[in-house]
Chains A and B, each alone.
Chain A
Amino acid sequence: EPEVTQTPSHQVTQMGQEVILRCVPISNHLYFYWYRQILGQKVEFLVSFYNNEISEKSEIFDDQFSVERPDGSNFTLKIRSTKLEDSAMYFCASRRQGSSGANVLTFGAGSRLTVL
């Protein structure tokens, strides 16, 4: 069964450092997403990406965050200058284009970011 792959599984960084989280979506999917889950809290939407541009972003997704699909397979989330409150599990998801039957988002296993 096709999977969404995320790397790294866990990253520890110092406050103020840049972090890049990587995702390889399912190959025929066209919509891409990042979500985050702070420990013990709900899964929160960060950003959606379609046709090489951001289609929607939440209030959390401020100027410190950016996304990119540099080579047609990877989908990355960059945090320019990490803060303590960025510590969370970050999930990548993707879905196919099309009818309502294609509305299921497939999630990766997540990247745990710890900011010290």
Chain B
Amino acid sequence: AQSVAQPEDQVNVAEGNPLTVKCTYSVSGNPYLFWYVQYPNRGLQFLLKYITGDNLVKGSYGFEAEFNKSQTSFHLKKPSALVSDSALYFCAVREHGSGNTGKLIFGQGTTLQVKP
């Protein structure tokens, strides 16, 4: 069965410092991996995805993520955090060849708090 783990409930970082939000996954085949962000009282917004190819993927708002197959990880990173990045971040996985469902399996979410 597919699963996603986000080991940190909350990450605190000072504005201007680099940030990392961790994600590990488990699938039986090759994964599609995604990061979504949720601001208060808003829906989930797509940030970036890994499908195939280059292990470092770049997304919206200066975020990037690195796919590491040997460690089954897909950590979200940003070189310099902004207070406005404070939100709830979800990692998600979909297995290749999962047919017409295309469903995503989400991690439990990590709250990012960026302090001025």
B is bound to A:
yes
A75 within 8 A of B: no
Bound form: Cα–Cα A110–B41 in Å: 8
Tell me if A's interface is mostly helix, strand, loop or mixed.
Answer: strand
A45, B103: Cβ atoms closer than 8 Å: yes
Q: How many B residues face the partner with a CB closer than 8 A?
A: 25
Q: Is B102 touching A95 in the complex (CB atoms < 8 A)? A: yes
Q: Is the CB of A106 within 8 A of B46?
A: yes
Interface of chain B: mostly helix, strand, loop or mixed: loop
Q: A42-B108, A43-B109 are in contact. Are A103 and B43 (CB under 8 A)?
A: no
The answer to whether residues A42 and B109 also contact, given A103-B51, A107-B43, A109-B43 and a CB cut-off of 8 A, is yes
A50 to B103 Cα, complex, angstroms: 12
Size category of the A interface is: 20 to 34
Q: Give Cα A111–Cα B97 distance, bound, in whole angstroms.
A: 31
**A residues neighboring B (CB under 8 Å):** 4, 6, 31, 33, 35, 41-45, 48, 50-51, 55-56, 91, 93, 95, 100-101, 103-110
